[in-house]
Structure 1
Amino acid sequence: MIVRHAAFRSDLPLARLSAALLLATALAGCAVGPDYKAPNLVLPAKWGTTHKTTLADGANPANQPPQLARWWERLNDKTLNSLVEEAVVGNLDVASAKARVREARASRKQALASLAPTLDGSGSYQRGKSAGGSEGDAFNGGLDASWELDLFGANRRTAEAAKYGLDAAEEDLRNTLLTLIGDVATSYIEARGYQARLALAQRTAQSQRETAGLTRTKFQAGSASAVDVANAEGQAASTEANIPELRSAFQQTVHELSVLLGLPPATLNERLARSAPIPTPRFPIPTGVPANVLLSRPDVRLAERQLAQYTARVGAAEAARYPDVSLTGDISTAGVKVGDLGKSSSISWSFGPSVSVPIFNAGSLQAAVEYAQAQRDEYFIAYRASVLAALQDVENANVAMQQERIKNRSLASSAASYRQATSLSRSLYQSGSSSFLDVLDAERSLYSAEDSYLASRVAIATDYVALNKALGGGWPGTVDTRTPDVVDQMGPRFVSSDWAERFAGRQ
């Protein structure tokens, strides 16, 4: 029995007991190894991609603190809002991340338990017959206690590492939620984009079929050639060929959305069958300053917590090279009757310190320290890399969205011009003042411009999602990480019925 206190002898002088406890407390206050300090990284003062939009007082709204709380609601789409809420509850990646939080929490409890004394009880009963022929009973009971003083902080460094590990698991959950919400928003925007492009293809194909009918009528009247008819019907068929592809892309995206919600792929088919507008973000979008990503990005905070965790593990490895001191004690009693235990029975006890000193291990403990230091360095580099990746994500999303908006304005102008050209060419063709090639070229150009314009609107919205993800916008609410997904039904059986049945079948 290993006891962390001296309480077995009532005649131990009080002064000696107090001195021993004070000495143990003082020694237990030190912990070898490095104390963790968050790295001080030098970051840019502002983003490289600047905004031209300014307020009346000359302030740039993009430099204001980012508005990350429930950012997807600024797309003004109630269906998207409800899908995000359902995904947070049902997504399987989130469920796995919550289980990892529970796992880290249990590991921390185990590590903290190593700092406390332990107490174990034992008992036995035996009935026997002596060589003389007499029979008798024997009862035994005892207590074993132990307390490791942890003079050099091995257990405290382990508990510290476990605490940082729990922090890292919680940040991993937040990062999973950030990724999930971004994926749900992106998939939903793409689904609405496919719907809009599908409707455009259907309208265009119908219009081109009408043009082909008009051309056939003119051909029958002798005012158009068979080439014109073939070209008109070929263009309509070419546009119609895009319809199955767009339907397939839309359906696959809806399937992806369903799985993100933790549902079978076809669950959302009926719910999203009715078309809705492509979500449009409001501008300008505040991006704050680069230093914000250190606080808002969960993957950056995760990397920082992992660095802290592995810094503490260096201390635990270092402490293993020092002596290990414990206070141990035990007390036992024996009697021929249960009632004799503790009064008329024989009682024995022992108490005292024990020391374990590493003397020779062929450099194994020193190698363990070097291994822990190398791991710490690896996570330090990983932390720096995560910060650079976060800055790059913001810069890329920012410039992509700005340039896509410029492109979108040009595409809108192009579509408007081709729309006017198509209307004029049809009128001229019907009056016989223009050739059919002008109509064919105008219709082809109009469809391409309108389809590109819709695709650009989707790109702007998905760039908006990417920017908010890059800035660290995730789930602002609480998530239940304490309720397990599997509730064990404990029964009196020691083996499962399936195993028992298989075993019985072999007999």
Structure 2
Amino acid sequence: MKALMRISPAVLAAALAGCSLGPDFHKPDSQAPAQWSSPRGERAASQPLAAPLEQRWWNSFHDARLSALIERVTARNLDLQMASARVLQSRAARSSVAADETPSVGADAGYSRARNSAEGLNDPSGNAGKSAYSLWQGDLTAGWELDLWGRVRRQVEAADANVQVAEDDRRGVLLSLLAETARDYIQLRAVQRTLEVTEGNLKVAQHSLELSRDRQAEGVATRLDVAQASAQVASIEARLPTLQARRDDLINALSLLAAEPPGHLQAQLLAPGALPEPQQRFAIGVPSELAARRPDIRQAEARLHAVTASIGVAEADFYPRIRLSGSVGLQSLQLADLGSWSARRFALGPQVSLPIFEGGRLKGTLQLREAQQQEAAVVYRKTVLGAWHEIDDVLRLYNASQLRRDHLAEAVRQNRIALDTAQRQYVEGAVDFINVLSVQSALLTSEEQWIDSSSAVAQAMVGLYKALGGGWEGFEPPPEASAS
């Protein structure tokens, strides 16, 4: 009776007009700043522009191998295929829920051979249970729930939001996949470049070793010079196996992303290539677009929408459910009589179910949904705030990486001058061989640091595009896969 008391005349009138209980979902405010924050301190060489974000941002590196690799990975990656399957599952679940909005129609037919008790109910055979009888029947049934309180409509609304959750989950997987592929490729090119530099320095060290041996034979250099030169050669040679293993590991990582067996991409990627370089000026869009583009924000919003709609479902469970049902059919004891007019039968009428006592289950469910909505709202705010922080951090990292790369480029230039000078002075006898070794070690270190910093700049650019949520738009499922 408590549930009956909840139905006021106003609520009943609204229900008959087709209302939906529960709060309506309103898109939350992402509280986007007016503009991106600018890195403080020294100005970097390249600058971001508040222009529309380039969707296929990897093409801005002007590396055909990278672009082809991304196309290959997105077409074959298994994580992306699993995410796509989850999208199909959510759409199928939505179709199942939406079926309650329309009447259900079914048909059945049957035959039975039976014998009733003489002491029980009437015996259709007319022989007081002394003989068996046959029963032939066929029916066409229909039923439809009158969604007076919007329970079904809210269920469909929640299901639509869950489809959005699954779609944005796929977009998030795709976004991470694009970034991971680009980063692994950039690291591969950096390792290959480091291998080239190391091998070049090895030739220089071997030349110095030959020079020290010649000078020892002439009585100008000592055994110490030769030993130091030999140690330098061995030290540089020791770097090569680790770099080669790292190169092969990265090729295998890219093969895994493309769902290929280990080493499958060796033929395409083993040959060294140029280290991708970002453009001097690049577009990053405007802050107000972020909430509509970044998958994790869209997903958090969709989850909030789903739990908001589920509150209406929980509230509607307090009210009566009315279902219209009916059937028409034929029934006879003889197959020959089944098609006659007198064999017809029908049933029509509403069914009303009303919760009277549920032991607090309905109230607890409603409280649960309201608490879930509160949590989803907080998760949305945290997701948005985390996105702003991530973008701010990446912008500063990108700026700092460029400055470090430029300073290291100057260090490499000066160390090359120093090595050339030290070698000439050693030949002239003006400096000890230890000076040559020291300058050569400094050059090798600065060259490796410069390559790492150049890789860091390109990877920071990838991280920026990932933080901005760009790149998934060009890889949406085909229309036939998106049909509900």
**Aligned mate of 1:239, from 228, 236, 244:** 236
One-letter code of the match for 2:84?
K
Q: CA deviation at 1:274?
A: 0.8
**Aligned mate of 1:159, from 152, 156, 159:** 156
Q: For 2:53, what is the secondary structure of its paired residue? A: coil
**Aligned mate of 2:104, from 118, 127, 130:** 118
CA distance in 2, matches of 1:128, 1:35: 56
CA distance in 2, matches of 1:453, 1:339: 95
Of residues 66-75 and 453-462 in structure 1, the stretch that sits farther from structure 2 once superposed is 66-75
CA distance in 2, matches of 1:309, 1:258: 38
CA distance in 2, matches of 1:483, 1:98: 13
Matches within 5 A, 1:34-45: 34-45=23-34
Of residues 77-86 and 282-291 in structure 1, the stretch that sits farther from structure 2 once superposed is 282-291
Q: Is the 8 A contact 2:53 2:285 kept in 1?
A: no
Matches within 5 A, 1:417-456: 417-456=414-453
Q: Is the 8 A contact 1:111 1:158 kept in 2?
A: yes
Matched with 1:103 is: 89
Matched, 1:267 2:253: no
Matched, 1:65 2:51: yes
**Aligned mate of 1:346, from 324, 339, 343:** 343
Gaps spanning 5+ residues in structure 1: where?
A: 1-22, 55-59, 485-507
CA distance in 1, matches of 2:468, 2:286: 10
Q: CA deviation at 1:26?
A: 6.6
Q: Is the 8 A contact 2:49 2:281 kept in 1?
A: no
Gaps spanning 5+ residues in structure 2: where?
A: 1-11, 116-124
Q: For 2:267, what is the secondary structure of its paired residue? A: coil
Matched with 1:470 is: 467
Q: Is the 8 A contact 1:174 1:474 kept in 2?
A: no
Q: For 1:334, what is the secondary structure of its paired residue? A: strand
Matched with 1:5 is: none
Q: CA deviation at 1:471?
A: 0.9
Matched with 2:374 is: 377
CA distance in 2, matches of 1:128, 1:361: 41
CA distance in 2, matches of 1:311, 1:176: 25
**Aligned mate of 1:188, from 185, 190, 196:** 185
Matches within 5 A, 1:47-446: 47-50=36-39, 62-127=48-113, 137-338=134-335, 340-446=337-443
Q: CA deviation at 1:50?
A: 4.2
Q: For 1:291, what is the secondary structure of its paired residue? A: helix
CA distance in 2, matches of 1:371, 1:40: 24
One-letter code of the match for 2:346?
W
Of residues 88-97 and 63-72 in structure 1, the stretch that sits farther from structure 2 once superposed is 63-72
CA distance in 1, matches of 2:369, 2:15: 27
Q: CA deviation at 1:137?
A: 4.2
Matched with 1:46 is: 35
Residues 339/263 of structure 1: CA separation in 2 closer, same or farther (3 Å cut): farther
Q: For 2:19, what is the secondary structure of its paired residue? A: coil
Q: Is the 8 A contact 1:307 1:376 kept in 2?
A: yes
Instruction: After superposition, give the CA deviation of every residue in 1:444-484 in whole Å (9 maximum; x if it has no partner).
Output: 11111111111111111101100111111123324436879
Instruction: After superposition, give the CA deviation of every residue in 1:93-130 in whole Å (9 maximum; x if it has no partner).
Output: 11011101100110111111011111222211234687
Instruction: After superposition, give the CA deviation of every residue in 1:197-237 in whole Å (9 maximum; x if it has no partner).
Output: 01111111121011112112212322112221111111111
Of residues 120-129 and 150-159 in structure 1, the stretch that sits farther from structure 2 once superposed is 120-129
Residues 433/192 of structure 1: CA separation in 2 closer, same or farther (3 Å cut): same
CA RMSD, 1 decimal: 2.4
CA distance in 2, matches of 1:61, 1:463: 13
One-letter code of the match for 1:204?
N
CA distance in 1, matches of 2:291, 2:382: 12
Of residues 353-362 and 126-135 in structure 1, the stretch that sits farther from structure 2 once superposed is 126-135
Residues 269/461 of structure 1: CA separation in 2 closer, same or farther (3 Å cut): same
Q: For 2:110, what is the secondary structure of its paired residue? A: strand
CA distance in 1, matches of 2:169, 2:206: 55
One-letter code of the match for 2:65?
T
Residues 25/384 of structure 1: CA separation in 2 closer, same or farther (3 Å cut): closer
Q: CA deviation at 1:381?
A: 1.2
Q: CA deviation at 1:341?
A: 2.8
One-letter code of the match for 1:477?
G
Of residues 335-344 and 447-456 in structure 1, the stretch that sits farther from structure 2 once superposed is 335-344
Q: Is the 8 A contact 1:28 1:150 kept in 2?
A: no
Q: Is the 8 A contact 1:175 1:474 kept in 2?
A: no
Matched with 1:15 is: none
Aligned length: 458
Q: CA deviation at 1:433?
A: 1.6
CA distance in 2, matches of 1:120, 1:463: 60
Q: Is the 8 A contact 2:55 2:474 kept in 1?
A: no
One-letter code of the match for 1:100?
R
CA distance in 2, matches of 1:164, 1:393: 26
Q: Is the 8 A contact 1:322 1:357 kept in 2?
A: yes
Of residues 319-328 and 402-411 in structure 1, the stretch that sits farther from structure 2 once superposed is 319-328
One-letter code of the match for 2:318?
R
One-letter code of the match for 1:141?
G
CA distance in 2, matches of 1:375, 1:423: 69
**TM-score, length-scaled by structure 1:** 0.85
CA distance in 2, matches of 1:464, 1:41: 24
Q: CA deviation at 1:161?
A: 0.4
CA distance in 2, matches of 1:203, 1:151: 80
One-letter code of the match for 2:314?
A
